[in-house]
Structure 1
Amino acid sequence: MEKATFGAGCFWGVEATFRSIPGVVSTLVGYCGGKTDNPTYQDVCTDTTGHAEVVEITFDPAQLPYEQLLETFWKLHDPTTPNRQGPDVGSQYRSVIFFHSPAQEAAARAAKERLDKSGKFRNPVVTQIVPAGPFYKAEDYHQRYLEKRGLASCHL
């Protein structure tokens, strides 16, 4: 099993999408990339901790290549808007890939370059690609949030 960690705006819809992909073993929503230990949702919402709302994915690379997760990530959000996805504004909603290995870093950078050169977007892709640091699991009520409420998706 391998891990992949992505930030693409509000983590509820991002988690629901990744959870539905065959080869994904589990997902957790949480916070990564900040300077505060054990942040709460309220802390992260202040936009002062530096954390992004992320989904940590455990996947089976024999069934699901990392590159396929990247393809889904790019389709989930607008990677050209810094610190914003739809109505959600703040650095916690930034587009970011936290890589767990040199192979993931290389795949993410190559995919970003291809997307940037494709002409799909008018503006440049601003997605950060950075090493995975500590992951802090979000509060239980955020886990499988949409599923618990019988919703298929949120505004994303």
Structure 2
Amino acid sequence: MTDVRQDLVVEQATFGAGCFWGAEAAFRALPGVLDTRVGFARSARLAIQRLDASGRLGKPVATVILALGEFQLADEDQQRYLEKHGASACSI
């Protein structure tokens, strides 16, 4: 039996999101995504958000790319949560 993935180059990426269930469902729907796992991460350093005088996030808002520090995989009941519960989107 031939493994059809033998010549496939697989890369891994880690993304941060507020509600990881919705993000997980969106990534799973993308062509080429082989698997997703949700969990909790702590970056190696903290991102500083600048607030204006009213206490709102100042503009422009920038995406900060950080090295992944500690990562804890969520429990199995949290993996593919929306799919397991018949939901298509996160209501949070």
Any residues of structure 2 matched to 1:10-89 within 5 Å, and which? 10-33=19-42
Residue 152 in 1 paired to residue 88 in 2?
Answer: yes
**Percentage identity across paired residues of the two chains:** 51
Residue 138 in 1 paired to residue 79 in 2?
Answer: no
Number of residue-to-residue matches in the alignment: 72
Gaps of 5+ in 1: 36-81, 83-121
Instruction: Give the Å deviation of 1:34.
Output: 5.3
Residue 127 in 1 paired to residue 63 in 2?
Answer: yes
Deviations 1:41-95 (A, max 9, x none): xxxxxxxxxxxxxxxxxxxxxxxxxxxxxxxxxxxxxxxxx6xxxxxxxxxxxxx
Say which SS state the counterpart of residue 135 (structure 1) adopts.
strand
TM-score normalized with structure 1 length: 0.41
Question: Bigger radius of gyration, 1 or 2?
Answer: 2
Task: Tell me what 2:15 maps to.
Answer: 6
Gaps of 5+ in 2: 1-9, 50-57
Instruction: Give the Å deviation of 1:133.
Output: 2.3
Q: Select the structure that is richer in helix.
A: 1
TM-score normalized with structure 2 length: 0.66
Say which SS state the counterpart of residue 14 (structure 1) adopts.
helix
